[in-house]
Chains A and B, each alone.
Chain A
Amino acid sequence: MSKSKDLTRRQFIKTGALLGGGLVVACHLPFGRRNAQAAQQGEFAPNAFLRISQDESITVIVNKSEMGQGIYTSLPMLVAEELCCDWKKVRFLPSPVAPEYNHTQFGPIMVTGGSSSVRSEWSRLSLAGAAAREMLITAAAQTWNIAPASCKAENGFVVSPSGAKLSFGKLADKAAMLPVPKDPQLKAGKKNLLGTPAKRLDSPAKINGTAIFGIDVQEPGMLTAVIARPPVFGGKVVSFNADKAKAIPGVRSVVAIEAGVVVAADDFWQAQKARKLLSITWDEGVWSSLSTPAMHEQYARLAETPGLVARTEGDAAAHLDNNPEKIEAVFEMPYLAHAAMEPLNCFVALKKDSGLIRTGSQFQTVDRAAAARVAGLQPEQIVFETTFLGGGFGRRGNPASDFVIEAVQAAKALGRPVKVVYTREDDMKSGYYRPMWYNRVEAAVDKKGFPLAWRHRVVGQSIIAGTAFEPVLVKNGIDHTSVEGASDTPYSIPNLQVELHSTANGVPVLWWRSVGHSHTAFVMESFMDELAHKAGLDPYRYRCALLAKHPRNLKVLQTAAEKAGWGKPLPKGRARGIAVHECFGSYVAQVAEVSLGKSGTVKVHRVVCAVDCGRTVNPDTIKAQMESGIIFGLSAALYGAITFKIGRVEQGNFDSYPLVRMSAAPRIEVHIIDSNEEPGGVGEPGVPPIAPAVANALFALNGARVRTLPMTPERVRSALKKA
C-alpha cells in the first residue's frame, strides 16, 4: 500500500542518512555528480526528487502543494512511468523550500498555481525517472556482466535477456555509485501508467482524519491566537483595552501588531471568546466610506470613456461609433471570496537564529522571504513546511504573504510559538477577493448576423499592480490578467478592440481560480449567445462557424453538444445552454440543462463537459477537476457576492455567502478528448464556461437574459419582465 510520509526537512535528511544506501537522483538538470556521490556516503541532498531505498520503496518528492488537485499523485506518476517501477511501492513526500524545487517556468520561486504543475514538471520529472532507470539497468548489467542495452526495466525489476531479475531495491546501492546520465532517454512506445486512472496516494489519509492541514498543527508550548483586524481595509489600531479579555481563563497574552490586536490563549475557543471582549479604537483610514453602489457608479462612468487598449484588430470604432444598429450590453460581476473550507491559518516558531513555519502555502519562496524580513532572519534560516491545503484557489498564494506575515509578527510579539487561526468570518472579511468587474460590450454584425466589429471595455482592479510582479506582468499599463480570455479570444472577429480601465479603491484583490477568465468568459460567451439569437441562428452552430479555424475549441464544443443531446427535445420547463472557453492551455465546453423555480430560483440539473487538456496523466483527476470547477463556478454564478457598506464587508459566513450544496449540485458528465497535444492545465479551466452556459440556458428557457452575477431570484425575475 502506498503511504504518505509527512516528514520534515530535518527528518528527511536524517531518514536519508539512516537508510544508508539507496539511489538519489537530482533532477535539477543538468544532473550533477554531487548527489550520486552524496548518496554513496549515505547522505541525501535535499535537491532530489526521487529516492529509491533498499526496502523497494520509491519516494517521489513533490514540489507542488496538494490543495485537492491530486498533484501528490500526478507528479509521482510522471516519475514512475519512466522509472518502470511498481506503482504500489510509490510514496510521496512534500518537498522543502529550496532552489531545486523552484518552478521551471515562473522564475526562481516555489509556487503552485496557474494550472501549471503537470505542464511545467512533465519533462523534468520524466527525465528524473528515465535517468534512474538507466542507472538501475546499468547496475544490473554490470552485475551480470552483459550489455546494458540487452536489459530492460519493468515493474520494479531489471530483467536480463535470459529472464534473470534484480529488484530496484537490491540495485539501489550499486546504481548510486554510477554517474548520472547526462542525456537520459525517455521510453519509446506505449505508456503503462500515464493516461490510466491511478488511485490517489493521498486518499487514505484524507478519509481517516490523519491528513494534517495547517489548522491541525500542534506543537508543545504553542499558543493559539486570533487577531482582531481593522473593520475597514487599511485601518490601524489607535488604542485598546484588554482587561476583560485577559480575565478569560487560558488567555496568555493580548498584544498589538501591525495587522491588529492578537489574542493568544491555550486553545482557540478561549482566544476567540476573549477577542469579543476587547475594546479597540481604530483609525479607519481612507477607505471607510467604501460602498458597492458607489463603486458601481464609478465603474459605469468609466466604461463610457475609452480605456487603455489591450488589443486592437482592424477598426472597431469605424463600425461602432454612430452606428444606430449596433448591439450593446453591460455585464457585471461582484467581488468574490475564495472561501476555501479550511480557514486561513499559520504556525510560526521563532528562535534567535532560526524559524519554523508550517502552513498550507501555494507560494513558499515568497512567503518564506517575507517571513524572514519580519523575523529579522535570512530565508535559509527558516524551515518552511507545507501541510495539506484545505483548498487554495489562489488565496494561499498571495504576493503580499498576508497570513504568513501577521503570524510571524504575532510570534515575535508573543515570544512564543503560535498558531494564528482565522474564524470563518475573519477569512471572509479580511480580503483578497476576485475583483469586481464591469464590462461594456458593443458589436456590429454582418448581413448574416456574424460579428463584424466588437468593442469590449473592461473596468476593474488589477490584481498585479502594486505587487513584486508588476514590472513583469503589467505591460504599458495593461494587466493581462484583467483582459485574458477577451483580448486573446479565438473567435474570428475582423474588427476587435479590447480596452481596460484599471481602478484603485483599497480592496485587496487576488487571483481566484481561473483568474481573468472567471469574468471574461461570462462576457464573451453570453454576448456571443445574444448575437446568435439576434441572428436567428443556433448558438452552438453559430460558435462553430466562428471557431472554424480552431479545431480544439471546435472538438470540445461538438463533443459537449453531441453528448448532451443538443437540439433533442427536453421535458417541459427545461432548456440547454452552451459555452466554450480556452485557458491555461486547455479547452473546455459545457452544456447546462436548467429549469426555473416559481420564485426565480435557477436549478441546474445536468452539466455535460468536454475537455481537451492534451496528453493526460491521471484521467480520473481530470474528471474530478472538471466536476470541481463546475461546482465552484456555479456557486459564483448563482450565489457569490462580496459587497461593502461604509467600508465594511457585508458577508461573514456561509449564510451570507452561500455555496452550492448537495441538493443544488447538478449531475456532471465529463468527456476527455483523446489528444496527443502538449499537456494543458486542469485545475482552473473547468470554471469559466459554467456561468455563461447556465445564463444561456435560462435565456433559451424563457428569454430572460441575466447579465449580472450572481443570478439571484430577484435578478432573474427582473430579466424575465424584460423578456
Chain B
Amino acid sequence: MIELKVNGKRMQTVASVDTPLLWVLRDHLKMTGTKYGCGEGLCGACTVLIDGKPERSCITPVGDVRGKSVTTIEGIPEQHPVKQAWLAQEVSQCGYCQPGQIMSAVALLNTSKKPSDADIDRAMSGNLCRCGTYGRIRTAIHVASGRKTARGGKKP
C-alpha cells in the first residue's frame, strides 16, 4: 500500500512500486486527465507537478512519490490564469496534449513571472502537440504572465 497526496487529498494505491505514477493516476485513481503519449518521457502528455516541479509521470515509479505532493490537471483551479489564457487564446484543438501543456506552463510561471520566448522554448519543448498549437500556447503563456493582453498585443 502506497500513500500519496494528489491535489491536496490523501490517496492510497495497491499498485506495485514500479508502476509509473501515470498509470496509478489513470487506472487506479481513475483520474484520466493526465494523458499517455509515449511512455518514455518524450512527449510531455503525462506531465504533473511533484512537490511543485514538472515531472513526466510515465517514467516516475509510484514508489518514488511516496509521501510527496502531486498536482494534476484536475487540481488546477478553473480560474487559474493559465487556464483562462488557454480559453482566451482558443489553444486546444484535439486537446489530448493540453493537460500536459498546461501543467508545464503552470510550472514555468511558478518559477518565472514573465518568461521570455527563450524561456518558453526551454520549458515547453518537452511537450509535443501533433495539432500544432505551439503559437497559441506561446501567446497564452505571455497573456497569463501579463506580458501580453488577451488580444495578443503587447502590454504597454
Contact = CB atoms under 8 A, between A and B. Distances in A.
B128 A341 contact: yes
Interface in B88-144: 90-99, 102, 120-122, 124-138
B93 A68 contact: yes
B138 A632 contact: no
A205 B28 CA distance: 22
A389 interface: yes
B26 to A, nearest CB: 8
A628 B32 contact: no
Given A341-B43, A665-B135, 11 more contacts: A67-B94, A203-B86, A203-B87, A210-B33, A269-B27, A342-B96, A388-B95, A627-B136, A659-B130, A662-B137, A665-B132
Contacts of B40: 424, 653-655
A483 interface: no
B96 to A, nearest CB: 3
B86 A341 contact: no
Contacts of B63: none
B92 A207 contact: yes
A268 B27 contact: yes
B92 A209 contact: no
Interface in A541-574: none
Interface of A: 66-70, 197, 199-200, 202-213, 215-216, 218, 224, 249, 266-269, 339-343, 388-393, 423-424, 620, 624, 627-632, 653-655, 659-663, 665, 667-668
Looking at chain B's contact residues, the main secondary structure is: loop
- Which of B28, B102, B132 counts the most chain A CB atoms within 10 A? B132
Given A203-B92, A208-B83, A388-B95, A654 B78 contact: no
A267 B15 contact: yes
A266 B42 CA distance: 26
Contact of B124 (A69, A210, A213, A662): A662
Contacts of A216: 26, 32
Contact of B95 (A68, A339, A343, A655): A68
A422 to B, nearest CB: 10
Contact of A340 (B33, B92, B94): B94
28 contacts: A68-B93, A203-B90, A206-B92, A207-B86, A207-B92, A208-B78, A209-B31, A209-B74, A215-B32, A216-B26, A224-B27, A267-B15, A267-B27, A267-B28, A340-B94, A390-B35, A390-B96, A392-B94, A620-B90, A630-B132, A632-B132, A653-B40, A654-B43, A654-B128, A660-B134, A661-B125, A662-B125, A668-B135
Interface residues of B, number: 59
B11 interface: no
Contacts of B76: 208
B131 A68 contact: yes
B34 interface: yes
A631 B33 contact: no
A343 B36 CA distance: 8
B37 interface: yes
A661 B34 contact: no
B45 interface: yes
Chain A interface secondary structure, helix, strand, loop or mixed? loop
B83 A660 contact: no
Nearest to B122: A663
B129 to A, nearest CB: 7
Interface centre among B15, B30, B126 (most CB of A within 10 A): B15
Contact of A269 (B23, B74, B125, B133): B23
Nearest to A248: B16
B94 A208 contact: no
Contacts of A654: 38, 40, 42-43, 128
Given A249-B16, A341-B128, A390-B94, A209 B39 contact: no
Most buried by B among A197, A210, A341, A624: A341
Contacts of B130: 339-341, 391, 393, 632, 659
A624 B132 CA distance: 9
Contact of A628 (B73, B121, B131): B131
A610 B78 CA distance: 35
B128 A659 contact: yes
Contacts of B30: 218
Nearest to A634: B132
Contacts of A249: 16
Given A628-B131, A659-B128, A662-B125, A653 B92 contact: no
Contacts of A632: 130-132
A544 to B, nearest CB: 29
A624 B90 contact: yes
Contact of B23 (A68, A205, A268, A628): A268
A606 to B, nearest CB: 11
Nearest to A217: B32
Nearest to B82: A207
B150 to A, nearest CB: 12
Nearest to A665: B134
A237 B86 CA distance: 48
A655 B126 CA distance: 12
